[in-house]
Amino acid sequence: TLAAVEAGLAGGTSILRVHDVAETADYVRVRSALRGEAEVSADLRLDESLRRENAERSEDDGRPENGERAA
């Protein structure tokens, strides 16, 4: 259901008919916050140091290096 809601919102829909109003309202609020369309309360914001983590490659992570193609 939420995938259909997203498709509608992404397409410009302004009126939705749904069965689970509370779930849909939660989704729309979170979507708006993630898109920067709604203000997020300061007490709900994560510290910037918790928002991103630098990934370090291990030698045997299975990914090709320097543009090499995987076998």
The tally of domains found in the chain comes to 1
Write out the chain's pLDDT in tens, 71 residues. 999 999 999 999 999 999 999 999 999 999 998 888 998 888 888 787 777 767 676 666 666 666 666 55
Domain that holds residue 6: 2-39
The pLDDT of residue 42: 86
For residue 62, the model assigns a pLDDT of 65
Q: Is residue 56 domain-resident?
A: no
DSSP category for residue 39: -
Which pLDDT value is given to residue 7? 96
Q: Is residue 22 part of a domain?
A: yes
pLDDT of residue 27: 96
Amino acid letter, 48:
E
pLDDT (0 to 100) of residue 25: 96
> Is residue 69 included in any domain, yes or no?
no
Residues 6+ apart with CB under 8 A from 5: 16, 18, 24, 27, 28
Helices of type H across the chain? 2-10, 21-34, 48-51
Residue written as tokens 């090499």?
68
Phi, psi of 35 (to 5 degrees): -85, 0
